Amino acid sequence: MAIQKLTKNQSLVLDALEHAEGPLSAYTILDKLRDHGFRAPLQVYRALDKLLEFGLIHRLESMNSFVACAHPDHHHHHDHGVTAFAICEDCGQVTEMHDAGMEERLSVLAGNQHFKTEKTTIEIRGHCQNCTAE
Amino acid sequence: MAIQKLTKNQSLVLDALEHAEGPLSAYTILDKLRDHGFRAPLQVYRALDKLLEFGLIHRLESMNSFVACAHPDHHHHHDHGVTAFAICEDCGQVTEMHDAGMEERLSVLAGNQHFKTEKTTIEIRGHCQNCTAE
DNA sequence: GCAATTGATGTAATAACATTACGTCAATTT
DNA sequence: AAATTGACGTAATGTTATTACATCAATTGC
């Protein structure tokens, strides 16, 4: 797929996510971007939709929030395979993980049901190494 | 763990989910139970919380809704391992899947990060066999 | 060039999902 | 009988997401 130039709003939202410590909700992004002229949720949601489409960000379903992709290809938006997220409930840090074996198992499971997969969500909630050590 | 007697509200909510075609949102449940005296969201959410705790229902994170567990043990609430859900975007049908290989991969992934897993969400969105055939 | 289409934007209003706060009541414990 | 606990009821509010409608700039087709 060809290079994708981002619009101003899309760049602002992506920037906010890339510079954030962890995942942000749409409304948190909105607040961060008020100084840049954002006034309404839709401005954020529209940008998020496009960024998701381009594969530059991910949505974390279990916490209604968004993170910048850990290994974005800014020139060609691509399909990473299935991504699993480890989400620390203490510090909020999110780790992206990829695993061929995992994809294989999911593929088999779906195949058993003759199910046609469109999108797969894998989110592991728990405690990261730092927050486990006491 | 010992047998768990459900309260009236919990039974009503569980019943609604068990008799539903597919997943229900909390507010849909509320509407279904208005005739039984439900007036406020909290009545539903409190029951849902307990039913989740007892392992009698599941929450589908990607659609903010709830389903009755496919193989409940009404006498001893138990820990099924990881459950993967295949969710049909056409008909709404949800299939529960379990797989030891998948759990193993997840366990390895988490282990690699020294991550302590509390809860794992796996949701596959797509099209079921019926809805794929045209 | 100019009309038509397309895609991004702005704004307001509303819908959908979830929680906090506060008070009551019944059962159990001490 | 007092204290604790857990379920319940109600209201208000907080949070997340979408619908509806209008404007504007860029592109396309004639």
Q: What tens digit of pLDDT does each residue of B10-29 get?
A: 999 999 999 999 999 999 99
For residue B54, the domain's CATH number is: 1.10.10.10
pLDDT for A67-122, tens place per residue?
Answer: 999 987 666 666 678 999 999 999 999 999 999 999 999 999 999 999 999 999 99
Count CA atoms closer than 13 A to A87's CA, side-chain side: 25
How much is the pLDDT for A81?
86
Do B5 and B61 sit in the same domain of this protein?
yes
Same domain for A85 and A65?
no
Q: Are residue A109 and residue A58 in the same domain, yes or no?
A: no
Q: CB atoms < 10 A from the CB of B112, how many?
A: 12
What CATH number does the domain containing B110 carry?
3.30.1490.190
Report yes or no: B97 and B83 within 8 Å, Cβ to Cβ. Answer: yes
Highest mean pLDDT: which range of A70-74, B5-9, B25-29, B75-79: B25-29
Q: Which residues contact B22 (CB under 8 A, 6 or more apart)?
A: B67, B91, B92, B93, B94
Picking from A73, A91, A121, the residue at the C-terminal end of a domain is A73
Residues B47, B89, single domain; the answer is: no
pLDDT band of residue B3 (cuts 50, 70, 90) is low
* B112 and B47 within one domain: no
Give CA angle at B93 (B90, B97), nearest 5°. 125
**For residues B32-57, average pLDDT:** 97
Q: How many domains does chain A have?
A: 2
Q: Which pLDDT belongs to residue A1?
A: 45
Same domain assignment for residues B2 and B62: yes
Q: Does residue B109 sit in the same domain as residue B72? A: no
Q: Is the confidence at residue A30, as pLDDT, over 80?
A: yes
Residue A10 beta carbon within 7 A of nucleic strand C: yes
The answer to whether A101 contacts chain B (CB < 8 Å) is: yes
pLDDT one-digit tens code per residue, A48-69? 999 999 999 999 999 999 999 9
Residues A87 and A52 in one domain: no
Average per-residue pLDDT for chain B: 93
Same domain, B101 and B115: yes
**Nucleic acid strand C: bases within 7 A of protein CB:** 8-13, 16-21
Is the same domain home to B12 and B69? yes
Residue B84 three-state SS: strand
Whose C1' is closest to the CA of A40: which nucleotide? C11
For A121, the domain range is 81-134
Q: Which nucleotide is nearest to B65 (CA to C1')?
A: C17
